Structure 1
């Protein structure tokens, strides 16, 4: 089993419960960690034998572009697509952070983390 991480995917989009968040938007940061059997790709040096991090990044960009009220919702959609589209992934963790959230205080970010494993 190996681990592939795609860290600090930066996006500007409009998630949140407040209408102002839909209009103004915010900065977000997404981190992904997937666990998969990487033994074949370590031997073959062939992209199709591994988890393509370009594909992971594309899933994040597409799902983050769809407005959600809750970060949990968008993180779950990202997880669902990873398991649906990338059969090598056995476990995944998605972290979604809202940078400078509008919560009436000096807060750098709020972060939600969801983990899941492939259901056989």
Structure 2
């Protein structure tokens, strides 16, 4: 078993319950960790034998581009797509963070995490 983690994927998106959030957008950070058997790829040195992090990044960017009210919903969509599209992944965990959320205080970010196992 091995893991691959994509850290600090920066995305501009339009998530949130407020109408203004859907109009002006906000900066987001996404972190993604997947687990799977990387034994073959460690031996073969072939991309076809591993979990392609370019594919993982593409899934994150595409799902972040679809507006949702809740970060939980976006996180769940990302997890579902990873498990549907990349059969080698056995477990996935995603953290979706809104930078400088509009909550009336000095908060650097708010994060939601979701995980799923095959």
Any idea what SS the aligned residue of 1:32 has?
strand
- Consecutive aligned runs of 4 or more in structure 1 exceeding 3 Å deviation: none
**Under a length normalisation based on structure 1, what TM-score does the superposition of the two structures give?**
0.98
What does the per-residue CA deviation read over 1:22-44, in whole Å, with 9 as the maximum and x for residues that have no partner? 00100000000000000000000
Q: Distance in 1 between matches of 2:86 and 2:53?
A: 11
Pair 1:33 & 2:16 matched: no
Query: How much is the aligned-residue C-alpha RMSD, in angstroms?
Result: 0.3
Counterpart in the other structure of 1:48: 48
Unaligned residue ranges in structure 2 (runs of 5+)? none
Where 2:55 maps in the other structure, the secondary structure is helix
State the shift of 1:96 in Å: 0.2
Flag structure 1 segments of 5+ consecutive residues without an equivalent. Answer: none
Query: How many residues were matched structurally?
Result: 118
